[in-house]
Amino acid sequence: MTWEPFRNLVSLDWDKMSSESEIRAFQEHRDRCSPCRRYYEEITYVNRLFRGGEDEEVPPEIGERIRQVIKSL
Protein backbone atom coordinates (compact mmCIF):
# COMPACT_ATOMS: atom_id res chain seq x y z
CA MET A 1 0.00 0.00 0.00
CA THR A 2 1.28 3.45 -0.80
CA TRP A 3 0.84 6.74 1.03
CA GLU A 4 -2.20 8.08 -0.87
CA PRO A 5 -4.42 4.98 -0.45
CA PHE A 6 -3.45 4.78 3.21
CA ARG A 7 -4.30 8.44 3.80
CA ASN A 8 -7.68 8.00 2.12
CA LEU A 9 -8.47 4.93 4.22
CA VAL A 10 -7.95 6.84 7.48
CA SER A 11 -11.20 8.75 6.95
CA LEU A 12 -13.04 5.66 5.79
CA ASP A 13 -11.81 3.83 8.87
CA TRP A 14 -13.16 6.54 11.20
CA ASP A 15 -16.48 6.64 9.37
CA LYS A 16 -16.78 2.83 9.39
CA MET A 17 -17.14 2.84 5.60
CA SER A 18 -14.40 0.31 4.79
CA SER A 19 -14.83 -3.29 3.80
CA GLU A 20 -13.34 -6.01 6.00
CA SER A 21 -10.50 -6.55 3.52
CA GLU A 22 -9.74 -2.80 3.39
CA ILE A 23 -9.73 -2.60 7.18
CA ARG A 24 -7.37 -5.57 7.42
CA ALA A 25 -4.99 -4.17 4.76
CA PHE A 26 -5.11 -0.74 6.40
CA GLN A 27 -4.32 -2.10 9.86
CA GLU A 28 -1.55 -4.37 8.60
CA HIS A 29 0.10 -1.53 6.71
CA ARG A 30 -0.26 0.87 9.65
CA ASP A 31 1.38 -1.67 11.96
CA ARG A 32 4.34 -2.21 9.60
CA CYS A 33 4.94 1.32 8.31
CA SER A 34 6.35 3.76 10.86
CA PRO A 35 5.55 7.00 8.93
CA CYS A 36 1.96 5.91 8.29
CA ARG A 37 1.52 4.79 11.91
CA ARG A 38 2.82 8.16 13.11
CA TYR A 39 0.48 9.99 10.67
CA TYR A 40 -2.47 7.91 11.88
CA GLU A 41 -1.65 8.62 15.55
CA GLU A 42 -1.25 12.35 14.93
CA ILE A 43 -4.38 12.77 12.84
CA THR A 44 -6.38 10.63 15.26
CA TYR A 45 -5.24 12.81 18.15
CA VAL A 46 -6.22 16.00 16.34
CA ASN A 47 -9.56 14.47 15.30
CA ARG A 48 -10.31 13.56 18.94
CA LEU A 49 -9.56 17.13 20.00
CA PHE A 50 -12.02 18.56 17.49
CA ARG A 51 -14.73 16.01 18.17
CA GLY A 52 -14.42 16.09 21.93
CA GLY A 53 -14.03 19.81 22.34
CA GLU A 54 -11.77 19.13 25.32
CA ASP A 55 -8.79 21.26 26.21
CA GLU A 56 -5.77 19.01 26.06
CA GLU A 57 -2.11 19.81 25.89
CA VAL A 58 -0.65 18.91 22.51
CA PRO A 59 2.41 16.67 22.84
CA PRO A 60 5.53 18.58 21.68
CA GLU A 61 6.24 16.26 18.75
CA ILE A 62 2.72 16.65 17.36
CA GLY A 63 2.78 20.41 17.89
CA GLU A 64 6.08 20.65 16.01
CA ARG A 65 4.76 18.49 13.17
CA ILE A 66 1.65 20.70 12.85
CA ARG A 67 3.86 23.82 12.75
CA GLN A 68 6.00 22.27 9.99
CA VAL A 69 2.97 21.41 7.90
CA ILE A 70 1.52 24.92 8.29
CA LYS A 71 4.86 26.49 7.29
CA SER A 72 4.95 24.35 4.15
CA LEU A 73 1.55 25.60 2.95
pLDDT tens for each residue of 60-71: 787 788 888 888
pLDDT at 6 over 80: no
Report the greatest alpha carbon distance in the chain.
Answer: 37
Q: How many domains does the chain have?
A: 1
Q: How many angstroms separate the Cα of 35 from the Cα of each of 11, 21, 39, 52, 59? A: 17, 22, 6, 26, 17
pLDDT in tens, 26-62: 889 889 988 888 888 888 888 777 776 556 676 778 7
Which structural domain range is residue 47 located in?
A: 3-72
Q: What is the pLDDT of residue 63?
A: 77
| Confidence (pLDDT) at 36 | 87
